[in-house]
Amino acid sequence: MKNMRTILGIVTGSLVACAAQAQVEVTITGSTAFRSITIDRSAYLFDAGYTAVTNDAANGLITFRGTATTRIPSLGSTPVTLRLSFSGSGSGMLAVKNSTPVSTADSAGVNVNKTPDLALSDVWPGAASPPIADSAFNRSVLGVIPFVYVRNNALTGITNITKEQANLLMTASGSISGIDGMPATFLGGVSTSPVYMTGRDSGSGTRITVHKDIGFNSTPLLWTTNVGDGAWIQTAGLSSGGIERGVIAVKNNAIGYLGLADYASIAAYATTIAYNGVAYTEPAVANGAYALWGYEHIVNRAGGLSSNQQAVRNAFIAAVTDIGYQSTAIYTNSFVRLNQMNVERGTDGGPITSLNF
C-alpha cells in the first residue's frame, strides 16, 4: 500500500507538471515609446476568441490569453498568456537581466508580479544605468524610433532648437528663488518669460536617446506640475511620455521631447519644432539629415527562454518587422520603416553613416 501511495504521488506530480508545461507564459516590459506597436502586434499573434485584461491602459498593463495556432503553428492548441507591463527602456532591460518581477494584469482590477522575459528598449544595453554588457542578451532590432522637441502653442515664435541651445536648456530653464532662467526669446520666441523644460526619468529610453543625440552628459534640471495647484515644481524626471505630454499640453511656457505617438495625442495644444534647422520627416531620418532617433530593440536573457517562449518571441519580431505592417499608418504615424533607412548608427547618439556607400 505504501508503494502504491508513492506511485500515485509520483503520477499526480507528473500530471501537475505536465499541466504546468502545457501552457506558455511570456512577460514583456520596457519601452513606453513602442507600447502601441507592442500592444497591436501582441493581439495579432492570437487566434480569434482570445481575451484581454487591461488594468492600466496608459502604461500598457495588459494581459492577453488564448491560443496562437495560426501565427505560431509549432504551439498548436497550447494556451498562451502574454503579459505587457511597460516601465521604460533602461528599467526594463535591468528587470530582465536581474529577473526582477514587474506588476502585470491578472484579472480585472487585480495585478500580480511576474518575472519579465523580454524587454523593449529605445537604447543599446550599454546605455542602461548601470551599463549592461551586450553579451548578457539576445538582441534584435524592431524599428527606428524618432523623437521631437515639442513646445506649448502659447510659446509663439519658437520654431527651431540647435544642439547647443538644447544642451543649455537642460540646465537653465524655469525660475528658481525669483531668478529666471532661459527666456523664450533666447529660442526665437516672443515672450521674455522663462521657458520650463520637462522630460523623462533616468530609466527612460526616450531620455537616454535624446541626451545621447544632443551630447548632453550631465544631470538635467526638469520641471513638472504640482498635483494640488498646477504650479511648476522641480522633478528628477517623469515616468512616462503620457505624463510628460500632459504637462506640455496644459502649461503655456512648457517645452520638452516626446515620441511621435505621444505628440499626436496633444497636437491640438502643442507644436513640434525643428532640430538643428531640420524638421522631422521620415526621409530626413532615413537620409541622415535629422539626428534625433534611435533603434527599437528587443532583448531577452541569453539562454533564458524555453523553446516555446522563443517561438513566441520570434513570431512577435516577425509581426513587428513585416514590411507590409511597417507601411501601415499605425506604424508610420510614429516610427520610421526599417526598409527605408539609408543610414545607420552603431551606438546611441553615435555617428550617422551610410548603408549605401
Kindly report, residue by residue over 201-245, the tens digit of the pLDDT: 998 889 999 999 999 999 999 999 999 899 999 999 998 888 999
What is the chain's Cα-based Rg?
23
Rounded to whole angstroms, the Cα distance separating 268 from 114 reads 38
Q: Give me the pLDDT at residue 8, please.
A: 46
Q: Give me the pLDDT at residue 205, please.
A: 87
Every domain of the chain with CATH number 3.40.190.10 lies at 21-143+294-354, 145-286
Q: Quick: pLDDT tens for 110-130.
A: 999 999 999 999 999 998 888
Q: Give me the pLDDT at residue 98, please.
A: 96
Tell me which residue has cell 539629415: 289
Closest CA to 297 of 104, 155, 89, 101: 89
At residue 59, the 3 state secondary structure works out as: coil
Residues of the chain with pLDDT under 70: 1-21
Closest CA to 195 of 257, 233, 152, 238: 152
Dihedral of alpha carbons 9, 12, 18, 20, sign: negative
CA–chain centroid gap for 318, Å, is 19
Q: Give me the pLDDT at residue 3, please.
A: 54
Q: Give me the pLDDT at residue 203, please.
A: 83
Q: What is the DSSP letter of 47?
A: P
pTM of the predicted model as reported, rounded to 2 decimal places? 0.87
Closest CA to 288 of 335, 225, 342: 342
Domain 145-286 grouped into CATH 3.40.190.10 = yes
Asked if residues 29 and 116 have their Cβ atoms less than 8 Å apart, the reply is yes
Tell me which residue has cell 539562454: 303
CA–chain centroid gap for 195, Å, is 26
What fold, for 21-143+294-354? D-Maltodextrin-Binding Protein; domain 2 (3.40.190)
At residue 337, the 3 state secondary structure works out as: coil
